[in-house]
Amino acid sequence: MGRSWRLVPGPWCRNGFRRDERQEVAADGLAHSTMGLDTTLLEPNESCNQVFSAPPWWEKRLSEVARLSLSMRIAAACIAVLMASAVCGQETNVNPGINNHYRNPDYQRWVNVFERPGREVFDRRWEILEATAPKPGMVVADIGAGTGLFTRLFSPRVGPDGRVIAVDISRTFIDNILRTAARQGLVNIEGVVNTDRDVALPAGSIDLAFLCDTYHHFEYPQTMLESIHRALRPGGALVIIDFRRIPGYSSPWVIGHVRAGGKDVRKEVEAAGFRLVEQRDFLKTNYFLRFVKI
């Protein structure tokens, strides 16, 4: 709010300030003119011919304005601290760099990785489809769709009145999913390129969110769960399939690659406003959890 107020000993100009400071202080005075000050005393004069000592009431008002200015500066400082705290309170990246190799992927290479015999979720894809149970007319979001394996399987299940939205941070994946869907005549498939903090879906727009070996790739799980929660309609479902992380049981690769096991994932998801309604054990290296939005 401009320069600080200062009580200046006489001699004083007609406008109440010393000649060499009146322009700077007058600028502050105009800013404070709505606070009950006599603005005629705060207007700058072109001349300073009459000199007199400051009246007592004027010194009192200057002191009041100085205190008010200090209070406002303290308030501004508090607001700045709160804003800094909000920034500091943002979620920390829990696994930096885990998605770097998906930023500009070789699509066919990842088809060979994701859609191959020996990968459990590929071998058991039809059982996973039945357990997930998409219904005709549903809007299903395949989050972390990758090469689109489950996106394509969901398409005929939701039918012409439903939609399947492939969501992925990789534009290469999304472009190829849409190209493959068009070639196969799957006209109810859409694609969304999201960020590592948001699924980029409108609020209340989906019935089912599906994550297959994707949750452990969330760099900001709390923020992502909040965005999924917003995107789901009331009573909507979240299905999570991910690797069992059990020391002595899981492979060394899983132990090193996967951040959290099923119990920890359940706690995180429930803390985000979901309730566990189903847990299936038909998979060996993965778990199956179904939550509903509450």
Q: List, run by run, the mean pLDDT of 10-residue segments along the chain (294 residues).
A: 44 43 40 38 40 52 56 54 49 91 91 97 98 98 98 98 98 97 98 97 98 97 98 98 96 96 97 98 98 98
Instruction: Indicate whether 122 and 187 sit together in one domain.
Output: yes
Contacts of residue 41, Cβ cutoff 8 Å, sequence gap at least 6: 15, 16, 29, 58
Number of domains in the chain: 2
Quick one: CA torsion of 249, 251, 255, 256, rounded to 10 degrees?
170
- Give the structural domain span for 277: 100-293
**How high is the pLDDT of residue 277?**
98
Point out the domain boundary residue: 51, 68, 88.
88
Residue 163 lies in a domain: yes
**Residue 157 bridge partners (DSSP):** none
Element (DSSP H or E) covering residue 123: helix 120-123
Residue 1 lies in a domain: no
Report the b/e string of 183-208 with b at 16+ CB within 10 A: eeebebbbbeebeebebebeeeebbb
**How high is the pLDDT of residue 39?**
37
Q: What is the pTM of this model?
A: 0.70
Instruction: Indicate whether 139 and 262 sit together in one domain.
Output: yes
Instruction: Indicate whether 71 and 137 sit together in one domain.
Output: no
SS3 content of the chain, % helix, strand, coil (to 5): 45, 20, 40
